[in-house]
């Protein structure tokens, strides 16, 4: 009797939490079809690369990852999926070693497209027009981290002049509250303590159809329902647009049992002139008002800010306006992005291009400011007792975790602390800018 050989599949994910959630769900399709999941550095029969349209030099990065896959197994079948695959399918198909390219609609049916695992002379491409992508596919990550990323929304109806995401993911649409709750309950059964809600524009939650009828649900309705779920200790909101972050949402989080005091709110520029050129749906005054409201109700809340430097037309005066606005803002850290040109975006029509070296200099200034902001925020937490969810990885003899308000803590590695919630007193910030703390409560799986 011949031995059954199990086929192996490996994954590499670029980009956002949403991509990680989708990769994890697609991986479960493979394991349900009898494949064994292995590390991307190992020899596999199939390599799936989930791409990102926001990543700079996406084409070059994709080529490098394909080469690393074929180094592990020259006969490996290479499938490219995700945002960049939707935007530039023919470019990706031309990369040596690629066998299959699947767009936004097709990636969730990947098993059906893999009939035989033989290398192809020409890559097969399946990518529909993005305006045809009008249904929602749920997803969540599992097994890679202590926290789970749960997809609740996809696509975007905004038309920001620098962004390709609507071209890569289509119109805004979302899951039903009923199904999100079901997924969260399933996740709770797996022993997970924290869920991060993800999407392209999650504040826009509620768009879409259910049973042929247009739904009438909101993001506030969703988080109120999730707050009642037993088994999940924490819910975290990954990112929400300032114009969609209502007083009602802030007030609910402030008194919530399970939603933690942590917001990540894209700003992109502190100059109203640049915000208008970007076609953002707010001005900086509204942004400042949102931050003030959060800090009024949750002084200990962690607030992250996305900002883009070097947008076309951004003068030195505009940049300094952004810098000074952020310097005075009661936020905790910055995610700084250097503007880079994207095909099929209206920002390309703006003639006043900022030199690349100036963009990099501005990026460096804001990253230094971010480090100062984070240090100030951490110092505000000294002497306070918080609850930490410890992760599972042993990093050079230490175990790391995050408080409810996203302060990073490390303690000497103890297997009994993995995936547990523990009371700690935040006493000392070490040279790495991380709190070292002593666990106050006994380890429990909670």
Q: Look at residue 56 and tell me if it is in a domain.
A: yes
Domain count, the chain: 4
Q: What is the pLDDT of residue 121?
A: 81
Q: Look at residue 423 and tell me if it is in a domain.
A: yes
Strands 36-38 and 8-13: parallel
Measure CA 432 to chain center. 24
Average pLDDT for 412-424: 92
CATH assignment at residue 396: 2.40.50
Contact yes or no for 185/366 (Cβ under 8 A): no
Q: Look at residue 219 and tell me if it is in a domain.
A: yes
Mean pLDDT of the chain: 91
- pLDDT of residue 441 exceeding 90, the answer is no
Q: What is the pLDDT of residue 37?
A: 94
Q: Look at residue 428 and tell me if it is in a domain.
A: yes
How far from 16 is each of 13, 142, 199, 334, 359, CA to CA, in Å? Answer: 9, 15, 9, 16, 23
111 in the same domain as 44? yes
| Residue 167 CA neighbour count, 13 Å, CB half | 19
Can you give the three-state secondary structure of 137-162, one letter per residue? Answer: CCCECCCCCCEEEEECEECCCCCCCC
Q: Look at residue 446 and tell me if it is in a domain.
A: no
**pLDDT tier at 444, thresholds 50, 70, 90:** very low
Q: What is the pLDDT of residues 427-438, one digit of tens each?
A: 899 878 889 888
- Between 127 and 45, residue with greater pLDDT: 45
- Which residues does residue 398 pair with via DSSP β-bridges, in sequence order? 395, 412
Q: What is this structure's pTM? A: 0.90
Can you give the three-state secondary structure of 285-305, one letter per residue? Answer: HHHHHHHHHHHHHCCCCEEEE
CATH assignment at residue 344: 3.30.750.200
Number of C-beta neighbours around residue 440 at 10 A? 13
Q: What is the pLDDT of residues 188-237, one digit of tens each?
A: 999 999 999 999 999 999 976 655 567 789 999 999 999 999 999 999 99
Q: What is the pLDDT of residue 53?
A: 79
Strands (E), 73-182: 77-82, 100-102, 124-126, 147-151, 153-154, 173-174
- Which residues does residue 429 pair with via DSSP β-bridges, in sequence order? 435
Q: Look at residue 240 and tell me if it is in a domain.
A: no
Q: Which of 55, 50, 49 is nearest to 67 (CA)?
A: 49
Q: What is the pLDDT of residues 363-399, one digit of tens each?
A: 999 999 999 999 999 999 999 999 999 998 888 899 9
Axis crossing angle, helix 356-379 with helix 316-328, rounded to the nearest 10: 10
213 in the same domain as 137? yes
187 in the same domain as 102? no
399 in the same domain as 295? no
**DSSP three-state, residue 108:** helix
Q: Look at residue 161 and tell me if it is in a domain.
A: no
Domain region containing 34: 8-128
């Amino acid at each position: 009797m011949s031995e059954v050989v199990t086929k192996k599949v490996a994954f590499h994910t670029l980009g956002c939490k949403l991509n990680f959630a989708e990769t994890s769900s697609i991986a479960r399709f493979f394991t349900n079809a009898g494949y064994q999941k292995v590390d991307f550095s190992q020899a596999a029969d199939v390599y799936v690369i989930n791409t990102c349209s926001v990543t700079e030099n996406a084409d070059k990065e994709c080529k490098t990852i394909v080469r690393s896959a074929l180094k592990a197994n020259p006969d490996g079948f290479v499938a490219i999926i995700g945002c960049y695959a939707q935007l530039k399918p023919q470019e990706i198909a031309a990369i040596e070693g690629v066998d299959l390219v699947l767009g936004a609609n097709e990636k969730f049916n990947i098993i059906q497209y893999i009939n035989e695992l033989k290398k192809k002379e020409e890559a097969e491409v399946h990518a529909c027009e993005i305006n045809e992508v009008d249904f929602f596919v749920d997803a969540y990550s599992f097994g890679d981290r202590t926290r789970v990323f749960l997809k609740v929304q996809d696509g975007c109806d905004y038309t920001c002049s620098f962004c390709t995401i609507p071209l890569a993911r289509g119109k805004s649409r979302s899951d039903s509250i009923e199904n999100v709750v079901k997924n969260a309950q399933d996740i709770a059964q797996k022993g997970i303590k924290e869920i991060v809600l993800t999407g392209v524009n999650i504040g826009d939650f509620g768009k879409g159809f259910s049973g042929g009828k247009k739904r009438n649900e909101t993001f506030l309705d969703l988080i109120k329902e999730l707050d009642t779920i037993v088994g999940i200790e924490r819910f975290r909101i990954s990112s929400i647009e300032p114009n969609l972050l209502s007083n009602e949402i802030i007030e609910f989080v402030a008194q919530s049992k399970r939603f933690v005091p942590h917001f990540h709110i894209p700003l992109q520029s502190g100059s109203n002139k640049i915000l208008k050129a970007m076609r953002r749906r707010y001005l900086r005054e509204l942004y400042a008002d949102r931050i003030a409201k959060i800090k009024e109700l949750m002084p200990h809340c962690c607030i992250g800010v996305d900002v883009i430097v070097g947008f076309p037309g951004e003068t030195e005066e505009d940049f300094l306006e952004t810098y000074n606005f952020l310097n005075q803002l009661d936020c905790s850290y910055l995610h700084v992005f250097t503007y880079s040109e994207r095909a099929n975006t209206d920002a390309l029509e703006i003639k006043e291009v900022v030199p690349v070296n100036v963009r990099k200099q501005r990026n460096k200034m804001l990253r230094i400011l971010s480090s100062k902001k984070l240090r100030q925020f951490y110092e505000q937490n000294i002497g306070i007792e918080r609850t930490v969810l410890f992760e599972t990885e042993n990093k050079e003899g230490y175990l790391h975790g995050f408080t409810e308000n996203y302060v990073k803590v490390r303690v000497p590695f103890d297997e009994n602390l993995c995936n547990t919630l523990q009371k700690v007193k935040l006493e000392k910030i070490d040279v790495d800018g991380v709190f070292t703390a002593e666990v106050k409560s006994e380890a429990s799986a909670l």
